[in-house]
Structure 1
Amino acid sequence: MADVHIFGDEGCKQLPALFSNGVFYQDNPVGHVFPLFLLQIVLIVFTSHAIHLVLRPLKQPRVVSYMIGGILLGPTFPYLLTRAFTLSHYIFALGGAAPNYEDVKAGYLDVVFRDEGVSLLRTVAYLGLDLHFFMICVKTNPRQMLQFGKKAFVIAVSAVVVPLFILSQMKSLFKVQRGIVIEGIGSRLALDYISMAVSMTTFPVVADILSELRLLNTELGRLTIAASMINDIGTSACLIIRALVRKCLRMHLSFLEAAQKMTGYIFLIVLLVFVFDPWARLIVSRTPKGGRVWEGHILMIMLAACAMGAFSDAFLLSHWEGPVYMGLLMPDGPPLGTALLDRANFVPTELLLPLIFLNAGRWIDFTMINHPTVFVGLVLYMFAGYAAKVLAVMVPAIYWNISVRNAAMLGLMLNFNGLGQIASYMTYADQYSEKALLLPQAYVAAILSCMTMTVISSTLVAIFYDPLNARHVMGCRTVQHLEPQAEFRLVASLLDEEPVALLLDLVEASRGDEQSPMCVYVLHLTEIMGRASSSLIAHKNKKGSIDARQMDRLHSVFINYEQLKEGMVVVQPFTAISPYKTMHHDICSLVIEKNVHLVIVPFPRKETGANVEVHRAARSIIPNVLSQAPCSVGILVHHPITGFGQTVPRQYRYHIKILFWGGADDREALSFGARMARHVAVTTVVLRFLPAVDREMDEDFLQDEDLFNEFKTEHAGNKRVAVEEVAVSDVEEAVAVIKYFEKDYDLVIVGRRQAWNSLLSEGMDDWSESPELGVVGDILASSEFANTSFSVLVVQQYVHK
């Protein structure tokens, strides 16, 4: 294709051809803009994903892989290639001269970063940056900044003010030439901007990395998100005002003229608040619950985000400010936020965003480090700022009773760097700008320091921060060791409404007699959709007042039950919004905070109907809860149910059977069943299985005997309690006995592991469907008992480690 010519007043301007004539006509495809651009996309996406596959086991976030990929594809690649060839010539004594780096670099850059294609690369890269920031902010709820009150505000302010002050005192270490240039770094303002970039915490970057580390819905993760939002929004606002004031003063504008310059910024805010925000909320109000947002609305919102970028640039702001503010005003979550992320997030995030890192990497040339002392000094200068930031965060965190280790982890989390800092350094060192602040070697030092700090922070956080560390949990959080008159605390977790009726019956039976108080924490687990940060919402405050704004029908049923019981049972409703893969964090955190004795997790027998994804998620949570919950765990195996009753019926009757083999888990099951047996409307049958051959009388056996005899003694005169014993020699006999007694029961309780488990598990491993339920629980949940009406509660006793 022939080159394009434009005629103007200055004569003929030749523009590069977009497309190639093809290799069959001896034309080089990458010598043209469009094929070169496609090659750049393929190179950076493939390279960064390949690096991420290697680094993912090391707990490194994807932004690190993007940074490394961009650096490797820049001048670093010919540098490493030249070094490799030089080393090969030396080792193998090859003939001829080793390749010259400058020649290899010029040839490589002429292929991958031709001048004709750089303009398109930069333009599309910044478009991807704007849209990515917009998408991140769509997932953001600004109200979360208020969740931690003064704590988050003080931490956020400390994280900015202290490192800025420390770094301002260290500027004198660098030599200033002619009052305007710092040797080896750049403009006299360079260190000021680097200090600000070090002190700032970019919320989208922090949210992304915490999500990858699966720490988004931990207590420390939520505090980090709140502090980073305050830090990011507050410092951005201050920088905007500072830039406008500096520009007005530099241009010697009067007060009226300065006000006119501010008009553009005010117009942008008014446009977003009074035009866009009502429009977005109108879309939400007109979309039926569970309905699909019209494609035209998605298109118009994406176009509006691009327009906001253009307005921001026109009104003296950074090009990404408008999309960020627009995203923050967007209603997060379903239906609009979720629809945007589902249908419009892939291209800007997966294809366009990596181009920013490729664009950043093409300026990194290690041969440009011609002042090594200044280079090292700048790196140390930045790390002094990072260290000051950690210490500045730790002091107020420790004041608010956060442990020293967690305070240090909080400081490291607020040091997560990424796209925001890289975009800032690129702006400061823009080689196409006449007012570039950073020299090439200073730019290299800034990018490497930024990446290294992220690697160090993410690695240390992944190794040393355990949000579910139960080593400091006091006491035995089990039903067996609960004092008779002590309050029994239970967490009932649910992903949907199916097991509500079963849980209500179970809670009512667990109440036992009226002498033992009981508190039920109802935790509704909701998948995070269209949000960047998770949240744990308490719907009842310390005074007992209920905030029903975010409650749903599920919570209302349990609140009605509490009111019916008139103080005999206390219900505390919670909602956890988080990804499925980390929901166990919410359960275990609530267990630790509330000193819970037993947590109930639903387990649907079949993944059927419209809730297949929810059923699958419910099953996936259980292994993590079993391994990490610092209390006993009950897995409620139930049939899929449609609809649920509003409360426990007045003529309440409940029939339970306890299968007792022996062992810690069976003892916990028997203890829980003993508590239920005290309820006047509960009928209990205990079926004890004995081995056909004599069992060794070890300590475990003696504990079984003591507890079983204690149970029989307590309920000796209770006509609603029956005890039966049967000897079995193998699992087939055990299943036959269970089937014989399977009728007319609402609930069967069994321990997850049995004392003589080898006899039961022999030959069972090959066809086990749900190993997390244990041998007996797996049998009862299998298709062999598919036609039964009873539910199964599989109990695991907590053992303090």
Structure 2
Amino acid sequence: MQPFPFSSSSLDAILLFQGGLRLRLFADLEAGRPLLGKMEADMAHASARYQGTYSPVNLTYDAEICDTKGAIKIASDGLFLGDPSLDYPFPVLLLQLLLIAFTSRLVYAVLRTLKQPRVVCDIIGGILLGPCFFTHNLRFRARVFPYKSFGQLRTLASFGLMFKLFVMNVKLDPSIILRPGKKALSIGLVSILVPFGVQVGLSDLLRENNRIDRKLVTSSFLTFIAVCLSTTTYPVLADLLDELGLLNTELGRLAMSSSSVNSAVGWLLLVLYSAIELSGGRSITALHSLASCSGLVLFAVFVFRPCMRWIVRRTPRGGRVGGGVIMAIMSTVLVSGLVSDIVGATFIFGPIVLGLAVPDGPPLGAQLVEKLEMIVTEMLMPLLFLSGGLITDYSELADHDNISIANSTMWIFVLAIVGFVAKLVSTLVPAMYFDISPHNALLLGLIMNFRGMIEMAILLNYRSFKILDIGSYTVLILAIVLMTGIAVPLVKRYYDPLSVDYVVGRCSIEQLKPHAELRILACMHDEEAVPAIIGLLEASCVEGGNPLCVYALHLVEQLGSANANLIAHNNNKEFADPSKMGHLLNALVHYEQFKKGQVVVHPFTAIAPYKTMHQDICSLALHKSAAIIVVPFIINKDSTADADRAIRPIVPSAPCSVGILVSKNAGGSVLPIPGHFQQHMGVLFWGGPDDREALAYGSRMLYHKGVQLSVIRFVLANDHKDNEAIEKLKSENMNNEHLRVQEVVARDMEQTISAIRSIDTQFDLVIVGRQQSSSSLLEQGLAEWSEFPELGVVGDMLASSDFHSFASVLVVQRNGYGSK
């Protein structure tokens, strides 16, 4: 074992502790001050029964602490044999893990009503278990968190941190760092260089203050503080934006790109600082360390990454990587952590570099994330927050030795606040220069101030190097909690990715002129939806009129990646490259070629988590002024899957009408046969804005020679808007033999249901509004029986397996102004 950096007299004092007592002893031992008093010595003697790994101990070999060669016992024989479990390290570790897991979850349950993120709650949970709160009692602390357990806590926490950083960087795409774009590059550089310069300038003023502890105003210490507080770490930002559901928003993507530049510069500064500081100022040693780090980077780029790409190429589409390959990668991560620690770059540098070298997404990146993330995040990472909380001691801020430690640490806190404000302003100014609204620029500044796990790990690591004392460490942890605890709720409260003026942007089919261009955003996540979507597009194509404009959006679930993307496959000349698109989009492009100018298709791919995919859909519909969004809802598969639940947030937040296409028979030909397209469409009409929008869509299909439209009107009330819509349809198609209007008088709910069931084999496509007029009698009687509320009462009935029909169903909801 490595010798502990204590004198022989200090070792005698450690033996008195056995179970571990107040963390203030660390500072006493290092400074050579007298040890604790009689009460604490008695407490140490009371906990001397703690056996575990480190007892018995021989003080031999020039004051090294060495275990005897006897058997090591880590667990007890049981309470019934008079051998208490808490005298041994493994039961103590289990208890500690349970305490931090329970405490952090409890804090999260309380603070999430205040919109606090998980990482803030985890840090607070660790602090609550520290000496300032629950373990302030010496006897309780000596039993539950003995000094000897700190080693195993930090070891397991470091092991978890190493793999956590590896997994987080697996989910990142290094091309974002290499090709950030002019806007992100400018914001990223300015938002780290300006706060760093401001804090270094303030540090020069602090050195002239004689009331501040001289250890806290050294150039190396203040440089470390400035670098740490100026850097926005890319993985932490990705985690927090994902938790907020903003990862695939316009502001979220800009923040990720900017933070990639910011983080790269910050990590470079930290590596340089570590190499120089830990080498004791010896330039040759620092150069050796930097050269070794460069060697790790070269190995990752030219050896490890090509191997990972080879594995991806060898894995069949939809296949899984073998367990032996996963084990080899994990072993390489362990070796990289060992090598980077040996060369003085700390054990986290190697895993970070290797994580960036693994291609994100399926098959390899997604499988690594799937296998490692849960156990690392939920079981090992809580130990990091516990380790950090156990050395967070606000009693260390007390004054002593005629030096105002409280005054000194107050200035460190002021330095942190100045850094927060400087970063906010230095992000705000360049963002506004690039025509970002002041509201969003201010929110971007708050996002760039997000802090979390990595910052805490860095502080904990530098506390181990004695660069930070307990008081400084405590103040900086408090600053991290305050920065993130203030910034995250503000961003969550005031940023709405769809908060624009919809007066101009919102439109509906009912508002369009008969021969005006119809813009449809057609979404698909499964090949089974393609035939039904192409059939709907064919029926919507106005022969001899303006072309149908289709924005085809392939929805891809984000797996093993933190990079949410909206990819436009058309180049500047409006040509699509089929080699860069999936087979779903290629089917729509082939349909465009088949229609020979009557249909224009613009292919897109959205890669995002299903829970936030609606943001990409609604944003694209808004920017392209789409009249309707068509999303698939496949019934003959498990409709409770995430892919189907992803459409539910679209309905209330869309900037235009929404059509949910239920395909009960997903088979058949993809492309229609020229001259043989024959479809019988049915519109069920009760009244109300949704039904009028459904009627307007159905009436446009009458311009297709192969479409026959039947409108079944359920007469229940005399709404003048509904009457006008029916009369307008009749007058415009007075001589059109493809239109048939039927009125059904339904006096009660039973007659209404019977009339709906009578159409089971008449139509190829049934169009119905999501909500009917208040007088339809259906909402009160059938709402509680609906299996899919997003389809509405009638849509749910038509889509259910009890309705014996293979007709597709289009459920239409009109959004926007004038929909009431």
Greater displacement, 668-677 / 56-65: 56-65
Opposite residue 642 of structure 2, the aligned amino acid is: A
Cα gap change, 1:175/1:187 in structure 2, threshold over 3 Å: closer, same or farther?
closer
SS in 2 for 1:522: strand
CA distance in 2, matches of 1:126, 1:468: 41
Query: After superposition, what is the alpha-carbon deviation per residue over 1:193-245, rounded to whole angstroms, capped at 9, x for unaligned?
Result: 11111110111111111111111111111111111122112321343345546
Q: Is 1:799 paired with 2:816?
A: yes
The partner residue of 2:373 within 345, 353, 357 is: 345
Report what 2:361 is aligned to: 333
- Contact kept, 8 Å, 2:128 with 2:134, in 1: the verdict is no
Offset of 1:126 from its aligned partner? 1.0
CA distance in 1, matches of 2:169, 2:511: 48
Query: After superposition, what is the alpha-carbon deviation per residue over 1:445-491, rounded to whole angstroms, capped at 9, x for unaligned?
Result: 10001011111111001110111224445154100112345432111
SS in 2 for 1:576: strand
Report what 2:4 is aligned to: none
CA distance in 2, matches of 1:779, 1:169: 70
Q: Is 1:380 paired with 2:424?
A: no
Cα gap change, 1:125/1:176 in structure 2, threshold over 3 Å: closer, same or farther?
farther
The partner residue of 1:297 within 317, 320, 325 is: 325
- Contact kept, 8 Å, 1:490 with 1:520, in 2: the verdict is yes
Report what 2:112 is aligned to: 56
CA distance in 2, matches of 1:369, 1:685: 81
Query: After superposition, what is the alpha-carbon deviation per residue over 1:711-766, rounded to whole angstroms, capped at 9, x for unaligned?
Result: 11211122222222222212322333333344342111111122244523342234
CA distance in 1, matches of 2:617, 2:694: 21
CA distance in 2, matches of 1:639, 1:756: 28
Query: After superposition, what is the alpha-carbon deviation per residue over 1:533-556, rounded to whole angstroms, capped at 9, x for unaligned?
Result: 321111113421324454111000
Report what 2:795 is aligned to: 777
Report what 1:73 is aligned to: 129
- Contact kept, 8 Å, 1:153 with 1:227, in 2: the verdict is yes
Report what 2:548 is aligned to: 518
Q: Is 1:322 paired with 2:347?
A: no
How many residues matched? 756
CA distance in 2, matches of 1:325, 1:350: 23
Q: Is 1:137 paired with 2:169?
A: yes
Q: Is 1:269 paired with 2:297?
A: yes
Cα gap change, 1:76/1:394 in structure 2, threshold over 3 Å: closer, same or farther?
same
TM-score by length of 1: 0.89
Opposite residue 737 of structure 1, the aligned amino acid is: A
Offset of 1:597 from its aligned partner? 0.9
- Contact kept, 8 Å, 2:627 with 2:656, in 1: the verdict is yes
The partner residue of 1:405 within 439, 457, 464 is: 439
Offset of 1:420 from its aligned partner? 1.4
CA distance in 2, matches of 1:418, 1:297: 32
Report what 1:218 is aligned to: 249
Opposite residue 798 of structure 1, the aligned amino acid is: N
The partner residue of 2:722 within 704, 707, 713 is: 704
CA distance in 2, matches of 1:554, 1:571: 13
The partner residue of 1:450 within 480, 491, 507 is: 480
Report what 1:87 is aligned to: none
Report what 2:153 is aligned to: 121
CA distance in 1, matches of 2:265, 2:618: 34
Offset of 1:646 from its aligned partner? 4.8
Greater displacement, 238-247 / 674-683: 238-247
- Give the unaligned 5+ runs of structure 1: 82-103
Greater displacement, 582-591 / 459-468: 582-591
CA distance in 2, matches of 1:261, 1:586: 45
Opposite residue 265 of structure 2, the aligned amino acid is: G
Cα gap change, 1:184/1:729 in structure 2, threshold over 3 Å: closer, same or farther?
farther
Cα gap change, 1:261/1:738 in structure 2, threshold over 3 Å: closer, same or farther?
closer
- Contact kept, 8 Å, 1:207 with 1:532, in 2: the verdict is yes
CA distance in 1, matches of 2:761, 2:194: 70
Query: After superposition, what is the alpha-carbon deviation per residue over 1:252-295, rounded to whole angstroms, capped at 9, x for unaligned?
Result: 54xxx876554422321232222221222222222222222211
The partner residue of 2:620 within 571, 590, 593 is: 590
Same amino acid, percent of matched pairs = 39
Q: Is 1:202 paired with 2:233?
A: yes
User: Pairwise mapping of residues 227-246 of structure 1 onto structure 2 (< 5 A)?
Assistant: 227-241=258-272, 243-244=274-275
Q: Is 1:750 paired with 2:750?
A: no
Q: Is 1:715 paired with 2:733?
A: yes
Report what 1:663 is aligned to: 688
CA distance in 1, matches of 2:283, 2:781: 88
Query: After superposition, what is the alpha-carbon deviation per residue over 1:9-61, rounded to whole angstroms, capped at 9, x for unaligned?
Result: 54883468533354345444333322222222222122112222222333221
- Contact kept, 8 Å, 2:502 with 2:816, in 1: the verdict is no
CA distance in 1, matches of 2:689, 2:86: 69
- Contact kept, 8 Å, 2:196 with 2:419, in 1: the verdict is yes
Cα gap change, 1:351/1:186 in structure 2, threshold over 3 Å: closer, same or farther?
farther
Report what 1:95 is aligned to: none
- Contact kept, 8 Å, 1:630 with 1:800, in 2: the verdict is no
- Give the unaligned 5+ runs of structure 2: 1-50, 399-404
CA distance in 2, matches of 1:683, 1:465: 46
Report what 2:197 is aligned to: 165
**What is the Cα-based RMSD across aligned positions, in Å?**
2.6
TM-score by length of 2: 0.87
Report what 1:635 is aligned to: 660
CA distance in 1, matches of 2:589, 2:213: 67
Cα gap change, 1:51/1:756 in structure 2, threshold over 3 Å: closer, same or farther?
closer
Q: Is 1:13 paired with 2:66?
A: yes
CA distance in 2, matches of 1:76, 1:325: 37
Q: Is 1:504 paired with 2:534?
A: yes
CA distance in 2, matches of 1:280, 1:746: 49
Report what 1:732 is aligned to: 750
SS in 1 for 2:699: helix
SS in 2 for 1:406: helix
Query: After superposition, what is the alpha-carbon deviation per residue over 1:501-540, rounded to whole angstroms, capped at 9, x for unaligned?
Result: 0100101111223322321111111111111232111111
CA distance in 2, matches of 1:539, 1:188: 52
Q: Is 1:395 paired with 2:429?
A: yes
Report what 1:422 is aligned to: 456
Opposite residue 224 of structure 2, the aligned amino acid is: Y
Q: Is 1:539 paired with 2:565?
A: no
Opposite residue 690 of structure 1, the aligned amino acid is: V
Offset of 1:650 from its aligned partner? 5.0
Query: After superposition, what is the alpha-carbon deviation per residue over 1:364-415, rounded to whole angstroms, capped at 9, x for unaligned?
Result: 1111112333333322221121111111111222222221111111111111
Opposite residue 676 of structure 2, the aligned amino acid is: Q
CA distance in 2, matches of 1:40, 1:216: 34
CA distance in 2, matches of 1:573, 1:457: 37
Cα gap change, 1:240/1:438 in structure 2, threshold over 3 Å: closer, same or farther?
closer
Report what 2:382 is aligned to: 354
Opposite residue 448 of structure 2, the aligned amino acid is: L
Report what 1:672 is aligned to: 697
CA distance in 1, matches of 2:759, 2:289: 84
CA distance in 1, matches of 2:283, 2:483: 41
CA distance in 2, matches of 1:301, 1:710: 68
Greater displacement, 515-524 / 629-638: 515-524
- Contact kept, 8 Å, 1:604 with 1:615, in 2: the verdict is no
Report what 2:91 is aligned to: 35
CA distance in 1, matches of 2:375, 2:729: 64
- Contact kept, 8 Å, 2:516 with 2:545, in 1: the verdict is no
Greater displacement, 323-332 / 53-62: 53-62
Cα gap change, 1:312/1:292 in structure 2, threshold over 3 Å: closer, same or farther?
same
SS in 2 for 1:772: helix
